[in-house]
């Protein structure tokens, strides 16, 4: 059997495997069961990784200015604590339990509760009885897993006092509060009376269209060291590609951003000073506490038994803080307190991705639609990178034109690599070609593309945002795979138009890339695939323009070679009779 045939079969096997995985995921795996399993896993994880409200692990013994002791796995599942007060508005619903904690926050806006889009395979699966998943809208979206460390949870250094606190319920001044959209905050007072200590938590809630904004004033009847938690991260969107964990800024407003991701937290804890805010986040949502005091806060992040980070603020007296629970909407966080925009995290490339998002948001305000804004962003980026792309394509074209001469040199000096390399360099120099000229511009574009990828993948603003008829949510996959197919087709056309110097085997692999990328991106958010598709279409148009420029240059060169010189014309001119 020929080597090429073997390679072809291996590549075919890879493609068939991709197709099998995609079909299996839609026909065999029930999406509703998968979601249920994820929710159960989140609950189990919170039970494994955090202290239950009524377990012995709820009585940590920690020294002043040290983190609370990391818990071990809870030996049993603690029952949910009774709810003593509810705060309700048109957009959120908040439950306060009898330990004075924010037990749950529900988001009620339709962009968070909209049903999942059903695609081609879902409909086909239902038709054959292979998939019974129903896509029904939620009434409200819960953000927290049960039996986890919750916002406003207090732990004391004194073990006896901590035991009293976990067994003494709070009393609420109101069992039900309604927030109206009139700018008037509503106050809730929570009081815990113990034999030698009285704790008063005074909360003010503010109406907001997206999340929960509040202030918290904690008054102790006598000073004592304690830790206040902003709560473990929400679990409303547990996507594995996004950042999950704690984000804070240390050493003041001009300090450094610190990130402790799930499974990376240290059991002994990490200490941070001059902290303006501390936040725990999933892909789209966050819970945080912050201060406007320039001195900041002393914070600790402790790893539980699974090394998931638990955030605490270390205190020893009365304190007044501000808090927020809800989506990581950039402009909303900016309106609350500008440093909070650092909660919107894009990874190592955040410094570059954030301006990209601001440009995308400006385009959205101009066009009124996130889909068209993505198209506008793609065109602007391509125009900015046009000089680099042009140089890269022209360099590749020169190399392609030199391919016959390069093969001659390779054949002539195949036994002498040094001479072959020397003659190759002379050939490149003579014709102004650079073997790295086509690669360098592409390498410089990678940070740009990666920044856009991170922005589109993490922007909660794209959630439930419609573009055209069949795309009702740019943050989830195209339900009918139209965009991925267009992306693959445009990628194939772009490859066909782009000059290359590949050998036959490499060319075969190159031709399979559109198929592989289509299968790989088929479940990615539609906004990402839209960007890639428009980017390919723009590249096709640019390549056609460059091809015309190259054709004109060649025509000029051919005409120049065919046109006789002036001296030659005079020599060949027939003599006239005198």
Residue owning tokens 């999340």: 211
Claim to verify: residue 319 and residue 452 sit in the same structural domain: no
pLDDT given at position 58 = 33
Q: Are 221 and 192 in contact (CB under 8 A)?
A: no
Claim to verify: residue 162 and residue 238 sit in the same structural domain: yes
Residue owning tokens 């391509």: 382
Q: Are 164 and 198 in contact (CB under 8 A)?
A: no
The reply to whether 577 falls in a domain is: no
pLDDT given at position 150 = 94
Mean predicted confidence (pLDDT) in 295-317: 93
Higher pLDDT, 208 or 442: 208
pLDDT given at position 523 = 83
Lowest-pLDDT range, 31-40, 45-54, 235-244, 348-357? 45-54
pLDDT given at position 229 = 96
Of 294, 312, 345, the residue at which a domain comes to its end is 345
Query: E-assigned strands of 470-570?
Result: none
Whose CA is closest to 155, among 237, 68, 75, 92?
68
The reply to whether 570 falls in a domain is: no
The reply to whether 571 falls in a domain is: no
How many domains are there within the chain? 2
Claim to verify: residue 184 and residue 296 sit in the same structural domain: yes
What CA–CA distance (Å, rounded) separates 326 from 280?
A: 11
Q: Are 358 and 294 in contact (CB under 8 A)?
A: no
What CA–CA distance (Å, rounded) separates 204 from 216?
A: 7
Q: What are phi and psi of 446, to 5 degrees?
A: -60, -45
Claim to verify: residue 222 and residue 363 sit in the same structural domain: no
The reply to whether 567 falls in a domain is: no
pLDDT band at 209 (very low <50, low <70, confident <90, very high): confident
State yes or no: pLDDT of 486 exceeds 90: yes
Claim to verify: residue 143 and residue 184 sit in the same structural domain: yes
* Cα angle 344-347-353, degrees, rounded to a multiple of 5: 70
Q: Are 513 and 521 in contact (CB under 8 A)?
A: no
Identify the helix (H) or strand (E) that includes residue 427: helix 417-431
Mean of per-residue pLDDT scores for the chain: 80
Claim to verify: residue 493 and residue 364 sit in the same structural domain: yes
- Name the percent of the chain lying above pLDDT 70: 75
Q: Are 116 and 13 in contact (CB under 8 A)?
A: no
Q: What are phi and psi of 283, to 5 degrees?
A: -60, -45
Contacts of 44 (CB under 8 A, 6+ apart): none
Claim to verify: residue 277 and residue 209 sit in the same structural domain: yes
pTM of this structure: 0.77
- In DSSP notation, 99-166 reads TSSEEEEEE--HHHHPPPPP-HHHHHHHHTTS--------S-EE-S-SSS--TT-EEESSHHHHHHHH
Claim to verify: residue 279 and residue 327 sit in the same structural domain: yes
pLDDT given at position 438 = 58
Query: E-assigned strands of 304-368?
Result: 309-315, 319-327
State yes or no: pLDDT of 8 exceeds 60: no
Contacts of 119 (CB under 8 A, 6+ apart): 26, 477, 478, 479, 480, 481
Higher pLDDT, 286 or 136: 286
What CA–CA distance (Å, rounded) separates 94 from 188?
A: 12
Kindly provide the b/e burial profile for residues 10-24, where b requires at least 16 CB atoms within 10 angstroms of the residue's own CB. Answer: ebeeeeeebeeebee
Edge-first strand order for the sheet with 226-229 is 154-156, 226-229, 309-315, 297-303, 270-275
- In DSSP notation, 379-417 reads HHHHHHTHHHHHHHHHHHHHHHHTHHHHHHHHHHTTT-H
pLDDT band at 352 (very low <50, low <70, confident <90, very high): confident
The reply to whether 575 falls in a domain is: no
Residue owning tokens 């979206």: 141
Claim to verify: residue 316 and residue 387 sit in the same structural domain: no
The reply to whether 578 falls in a domain is: no
Higher pLDDT, 436 or 532: 532
pLDDT given at position 439 = 64
pLDDT in tens, 37-85: 444 444 334 434 333 333 333 333 443 334 455 444 433 334 579 999 9
pLDDT given at position 431 = 72
Collapsing DSSP to helix, strand or coil, 299 comes out as strand
pLDDT given at position 122 = 52
Domain hosting residue 464, numbered range: 354-562
Taking each helix axis from N to C end, the angle separating 526-562 and 482-497, rounded to the nearest 10 degrees, works out to 20
Claim to verify: residue 207 and residue 264 sit in the same structural domain: yes
Chain CA centroid to CA 106, Å:
22
pLDDT in tens, 496-530: 887 665 567 767 777 888 888 888 888 888 998 99
Mean predicted confidence (pLDDT) in 223-239: 90
Q: Which residues are registered as beta bridge partners of 176?
A: 86
Whose CA is closest to 46, among 295, 280, 206?
280
Whose CA is closest to 213, among 95, 367, 323?
323
CA distances from 333 to 212, 326, 362, 446 (A): 11, 10, 17, 29
Q: Which two tokens stand for residue 166?
A: 């976990």
Instruction: Give the β-pairing of 212-220 and 319-327.
Output: antiparallel
3-state helix, strand, coil in the chain (%, to 5): 45, 20, 35
State yes or no: pLDDT of 406 exceeds 90: no
The reply to whether 572 falls in a domain is: no
pLDDT given at position 20 = 53
pLDDT band at 133 (very low <50, low <70, confident <90, very high): very low
Claim to verify: residue 365 and residue 330 sit in the same structural domain: no
- In DSSP notation, 178-212 reads E--TTS--EEEEEEEEETTEEEEEEEEEE--SSSE
Claim to verify: residue 102 and residue 218 sit in the same structural domain: yes
The reply to whether 568 falls in a domain is: no
Residue owning tokens 């990402």: 528
The CATH code of the domain that includes 70 is 2.70.98.90
pLDDT given at position 237 = 81
DSSP 8-state secondary structure symbol assigned to residue 574: P
- For 305, other C-beta atoms within 10 Å of its C-beta total 16
């Amino acid at each position: 059997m020929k080597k090429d045939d073997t390679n072809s079969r291996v590549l075919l096997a890879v493609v068939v495997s991709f197709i099998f995985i995609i079909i299996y995921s839609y026909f065999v795996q029930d999406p509703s069961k998968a979601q249920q399993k994820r929710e159960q896993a989140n609950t189990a994880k919170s039970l494994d990784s955090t202290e239950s409200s009524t377990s012995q692990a709820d009585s940590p013994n920690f020294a002043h200015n040290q983190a609370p002791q990391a818990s071990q796995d809870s030996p049993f599942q603690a029952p949910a604590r009774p709810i003593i007060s509810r705060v309700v508005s048109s957009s959120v619903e908040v439950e306060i339990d009898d330990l004075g904690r924010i037990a749950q926050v529900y988001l009620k806006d339709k962009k968070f509760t909209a049903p999942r889009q059903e695609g081609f395979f879902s409909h086909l699966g239902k038709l054959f009885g292979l998939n019974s998943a129903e896509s029904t809208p939620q009434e409200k979206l819960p953000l927290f897993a049960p039996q986890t460390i919750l916002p406003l949870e207090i732990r004391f250094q004194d073990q006896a006092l901590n035991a009293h606190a976990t067994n003494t319920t709070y009393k609420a001044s109101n069992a039900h509060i309604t927030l109206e959209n009139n700018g008037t905050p509503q106050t809730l007072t929570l009081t815990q009376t113990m034999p030698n200590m009285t704790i008063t938590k005074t909360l003010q809630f503010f109406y907001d269209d997206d999340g929960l904004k509040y202030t918290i004033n904690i008054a102790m009847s006598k000073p004592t060291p304690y830790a206040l938690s902003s709560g473990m991260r929400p679990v409303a969107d547990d996507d594995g590609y996004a950042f999950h964990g704690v984000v804070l800024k240390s050493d003041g407003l001009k300090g450094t951003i610190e990130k402790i991701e799930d499974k990376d937290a240290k059991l002994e804890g990490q200490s941070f000073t001059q902290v303006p805010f501390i936040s725990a986040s999933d892909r789209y949502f966050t819970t945080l506490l912050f201060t406007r005091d320039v001195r900041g806060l002393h914070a600790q992040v402790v790893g539980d038994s699974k090394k998931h980070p638990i955030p605490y603020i270390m205190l020893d007296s009365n304190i007044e803080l501000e808090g927020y629970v809800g989506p990581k909407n950039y402009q909303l966080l900016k309106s609350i307190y500008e440093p909070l925009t650092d909660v919107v995290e894009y990874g190592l490339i955040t410094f570059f991705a954030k301006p990209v998002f601001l440009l995308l948001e400006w385009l959205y305000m101009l066009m009124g639609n996130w889909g068209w804004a993505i198209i506008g962003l793609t065109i602007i980026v391509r125009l900015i990178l046009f000089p680099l792309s042009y140089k890269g394509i022209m360099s590749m074209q020169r190399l392609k034109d030199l391919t016959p001469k390069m093969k001659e040199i390779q054949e002539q000096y195949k036994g002498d690599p040094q001479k072959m390399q020397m003659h190759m360099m002379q050939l490149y120099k003579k014709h102004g070609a650079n073997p790295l000229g086509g690669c360098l511009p592409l390498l410089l574009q990678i940070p740009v593309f990666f920044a856009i990828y991170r922005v589109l993948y993490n922007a909660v603003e794209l959630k439930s945002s419609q573009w055209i008829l069949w795309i009702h949510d740019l943050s989830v996959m195209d339900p009918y795979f139209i965009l991925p197919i267009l992306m693959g087709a445009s990628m194939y056309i772009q490859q066909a138009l782009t000059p290359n110097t590949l050998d036959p085997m490499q060319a075969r692999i190159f031709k399979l890339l559109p198929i592989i990328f289509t299968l790989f991106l088929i479940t990615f958010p539609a906004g990402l695939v839209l960007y890639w598709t428009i980017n390919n279409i723009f590249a096709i148009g640019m390549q056609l323009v460059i091809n015309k420029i190259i054709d004109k240059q060649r025509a000029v060169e051919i005409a120049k070679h065919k046109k006789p010189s002036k001296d030659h014309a005079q020599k060949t001119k027939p003599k006239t009779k005198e």
